[in-house]
Amino acid sequence: MSITKFPPINHSSRAGSVAAQDKGLKNTIAQLRRVTGPAAATAHAYADALERAEAARVTANRPGATKADRDALGEANKAKNDAFQAYAKEILQEQQAKYQQLASLFEPPKRGGPRLS
């Protein structure tokens, strides 16, 4: 009796796709919650904004959603984008500071010092 190998399950249905997106969002939020150091506050704020935007999306897409629900979704998405921009800016500044610190280790000695004769 041979063992039949089944192909990997691809989420081709809409429900499967939504489930995969939801899992990815939960993983992203969990990773942002684990951030420590100088960027922790903005990472956690971004995670909060992602959660609020997802809750607003669910509310705005339910049957019987009102214009206020859709407006709240727009505001939540704007807040999410602003939080992402702040987080990305802080990460970039942190990386630039690390690069400058590394680059200073490899600077050649400065010329024009006192002459030894």
**Looking at residues 83-98, what average pLDDT do you find?**
94
How much is the pLDDT for 114? 62
In-domain check, residue 117: no
In-domain check, residue 113: no
How much is the pLDDT for 113? 61
Q: Is the pLDDT of residue 8 over 70?
A: no
Q: What is the pTM of this model?
A: 0.72
The tally of domains found in the chain comes to 1
Is the model more confident about 107 or about 109? 107
In-domain check, residue 71: yes
In-domain check, residue 116: no
86 φ, ψ to 5°?
Answer: -65, -40
In-domain check, residue 6: no
In-domain check, residue 89: yes
Gyration radius (Cα) of the chain, Å: 24
How much is the pLDDT for 21? 85
In-domain check, residue 112: no
The whole-angstrom separation of Cα 82 and Cα 3 is: 52
81: domain range? 19-105
Q: Is the pLDDT of residue 69 over 80?
A: yes
The angle at the Cα of 18, spanning 78 to 57, to the nearest 5 degrees, equals 30
Is residue 40 very low, low, confident or very high in pLDDT (cuts 50, 70, 90)? Answer: very high
In-domain check, residue 50: yes
